């Protein structure tokens, strides 16, 4: 160990205070993993006033390769759940992959990952499509 409470990686080993702070970290991580640039999200965390300085330091210490890998796994799993759970989405992907991927990217960025099963992901996507159609009838398939 180096200076008081730091391990060899320079991270503070002090416990995280409070459920609110942990919830803030989880919200940040959920957004970062859906971001088009998870590394930029990690790097901007050091300016966030939503969490303590110690927690900002922990976020800043997240290894870039690990964060990128986690983000790729999240998007891949969401994509797989969606095409497995929605015949409509699967057919759209088969018929017009470019259009589907563009819509999926918007969906992934805008809708928090809450589904655990293909049918749940399909329901989230269908609701998102309905909202897109309501906002701009020509925007969604």
Whether 108 contacts 31, CB under 8 Å? no
Looking at the chain, how many residues does it have? 141
Alpha helix ranges (H) inside 1-117:
19-34, 38-44, 53-60, 64-85, 87-95, 97-110
78 burial type by CB count under 10 A (0-12 exposed, 13-18 middle, 19+ buried):
buried
Q: Are 25 and 46 members of one domain?
A: yes
Q: Are 29 and 81 members of one domain?
A: no
CA atoms of 72 and 66, how far apart (whole Å): 10
* Count of domains forming the chain: 2
Q: Are 42 and 81 members of one domain?
A: no
Q: Are 91 and 127 members of one domain?
A: yes
Q: Are 81 and 130 members of one domain?
A: yes
Residue-range definition of the domain harbouring residue 110: 72-135
Query: Is the pTM higher than 0.85?
Result: no
Each residue's pLDDT, cut to its tens digit, for the chain (141 residues) gives 334 444 445 455 555 667 877 787 888 888 899 999 999 988 887 777 766 787 787 788 889 999 999 999 999 999 999 999 999 999 999 999 999 999 999 999 999 999 999 999 999 999 999 999 988 766 655
Residue 10 domain flag = no
Taking the chain, what is the end-to-end CA distance rounded to the nearest angstrom? 56
- φ, ψ of residue 6 to 5 degrees: the values are -95, 140
CA atoms of 8 and 34, how far apart (whole Å): 30
């Amino acid at each position: 160990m180096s200076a008081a409470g730091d391990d060899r990686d320079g991270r503070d080993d002090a416990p995280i205070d409070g459920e609110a702070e942990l919830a803030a970290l989880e919200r940040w991580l959920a957004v970062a993993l859906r971001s088009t640039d998870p590394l930029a999200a990690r790097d901007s965390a050091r300016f966030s006033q939503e969490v303590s300085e110690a927690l900002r330091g922990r976020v800043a210490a997240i290894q870039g390769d690990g964060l990128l890998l986690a983000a790729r796994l999240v998007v891949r799993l969401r994509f797989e759940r969606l095409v497995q759970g929605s015949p409509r989405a699967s057919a759209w992907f088969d018929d017009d992959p470019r259009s589907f991927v563009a819509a999926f990217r918007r969906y992934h960025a805008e809708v928090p990952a809450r589904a655990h099963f293909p049918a749940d992901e399909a329901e989230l996507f269908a609701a998102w499509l309905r909202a897109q159609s309501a906002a701009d009838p020509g925007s969604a398939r």
